[in-house]
C-alpha cells in the first residue's frame, strides 16, 4: 500500500446457522466457492485452494470440511460442519471497498444461508498500519 490509509484491510466474518447440510459436505463446491469468491472480490490467488475433511470425533466438533485459499491480499477460509448445519467463513483482504452485500448473497446462494440466522461482523484491520516502511 502506498500513501496514508485509515486502515490496512477489511475482514468480513460470517457465522451461519441452518445452512444446507448437503452443500456443507460438498468439498468440490467449497473449492469452487473459494475460487469464485476471489473473482467476485477481484483478488489474486497465490496458490490453489486447499480443501480438507475432518472425521467426526477428531476435534471438539463433529466432522466437517474446511477450505482455505491464500491470496496476495490475504486469505479466505470456509469451515463447514454439516451435522450442526453451521458454516463459518472469513473473507479478509487488504484491498479496500469489499462489496459486503455481494459476499453475503454469495453464501445465501451457495449454501442456503438465511442472513437472518447469521452472525455477521465487518472489521477494519490494522487501523494503525504505518504509511511508510520502518527501519
Which residues are marked as active site? Answer: 74, 79, 94
State which H helix or E strand residue 10 sits in.
strand 9-17
Q: Is 4 helix (H, G, I), strand (E, B) or coil?
A: coil
- The answer for residues whose C-beta is within 8 angstroms of residue 14's C-beta and 6 or more apart is 87, 88, 89, 91, 103, 104, 107, 113, 118, 119, 120
Amino acid at each position: 500500500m502506498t500513501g496514508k490509509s485509515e486502515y490496512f484491510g477489511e475482514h468480513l466474518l460470517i457465522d451461519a446457522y441452518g445452512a444446507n447440510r448437503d452443500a456443507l459436505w460438498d468439498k468440490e463446491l467449497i473449492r469452487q466457492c473459494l475460487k469464485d469468491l476471489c473473482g467476485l472480490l477481484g483478488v489474486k490467488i497465490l496458490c490453489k485452494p486447499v480443501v480438507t475433511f475432518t472425521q467426526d470425533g477428531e476435534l471438539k466438533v463433529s466432522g466437517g470440511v474446511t477450505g482455505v485459499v491464500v491470496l496476495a491480499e490475504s486469505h479466505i477460509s470456509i469451515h463447514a460442519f454439516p451435522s450442526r448445519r453451521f458454516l463459518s467463513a472469513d473473507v479478509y483482504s487488504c484491498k479496500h471497498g469489499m462489496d459486503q452485500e455481494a459476499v453475503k448473497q454469495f453464501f445465501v446462494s451457495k449454501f442456503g444461508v438465511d442472513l437472518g440466522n447469521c452472525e455477521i461482523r465487518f472489521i477494519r484491520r490494522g487501523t494503525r498500519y504505518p504509511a511508510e516502511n520502518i527501519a
